[in-house]
Structure 1
């Protein structure tokens, strides 16, 4: 690979890592995802370690987490004992998978907690209950939107959303 390509890829992986941090995931996890997303072929743990200069434990932990999110798949090569990993290449499918997982892991548990708090707070001050109800309404709307997004098979939603926001 050319030196220029290596520089551009390093810049991309740094940017992807920074974005991951702002979204609440580790920099290394995001960089591994970016590396796999831009790799032409599946990479082994050793490949990931070498490319990002990280430890085996760090690579393994983050690869498993990415696989748990459904945006990285394990791949086996016949006759090779190593595990290889590849990322979902279709960005729309990846976005839908992340939306589905964020909904399941983050939004749904908070909704359940707020509903429980509201049931238990029947004698709480009205202002407190109103704030919880308002938060719950917003979270349910976000949950509905993320559920709709996660179910889309094609990128038909994005142009519609952009049209709404550009008005």
Structure 2
């Protein structure tokens, strides 16, 4: 292996490790994020055996996480003519990756949180007493804010990449 290839592999390994750590912040497990990073930075498609060997994970772990990444829409299965194995490739468009992650986080985290806040607000509507009123008002404010943030996320993720960057520049500039 040449020095350049060794340096590339070192950089890729560092990226995979950090993407794995970042993935836990999205609410996914480290291995799933590491597989995503590996596929995202690979020039071609990889089979389950490639993933297992590169990341030193079991077949079951690799298979389960590949399946979940397909379910999220972050990777897709590829058929290679003449080969019976399943191959996978990642979505590489950064804006698409962002919108997919935003959509999945909304479905898994934001929508259940909104439903809970709505239920708590409904359950305490009209209750008497200072504590009950304070609780109801706080939950209502949280519900309104989370709902607003969810709508803004939907709006931004539905925009074309360039338009979203322009809008962000105006807001932040």
TM-score (norm 1): 0.92
Question: What is the match of residue 78 of structure 2?
Answer: 75
Q: Are positions 1:65 and 2:65 aligned together?
A: no
Residues 1-167 of structure 1 aligned to structure 2 (within 5 Å): 2-122=5-125, 123=127, 125-165=132-172, 167=173
**Greater C-alpha radius of gyration:** 2
- Between 46-55 and 19-28, report the one with greater CA deviation: 19-28
Give the 4+ runs in structure 1 shifted more than 4 A.
none
Q: Cα RMSD (Å) of the superposition?
A: 1.5
SS at match of 1:158: helix
Is the contact made by 1:42 and 1:86 (CA closer than 8 Å) also made in structure 2?
yes
* Cα separation, 1, equivalents of 2:114 and 2:163: 28
SS at match of 1:111: helix
Structure 1 unaligned regions, length at least 5: none
C-alpha distance 24-101 of structure 1, shift in aligned 2 (>3 A) = closer
1:149 CA displacement: 2.4
1:31 CA displacement: 0.8
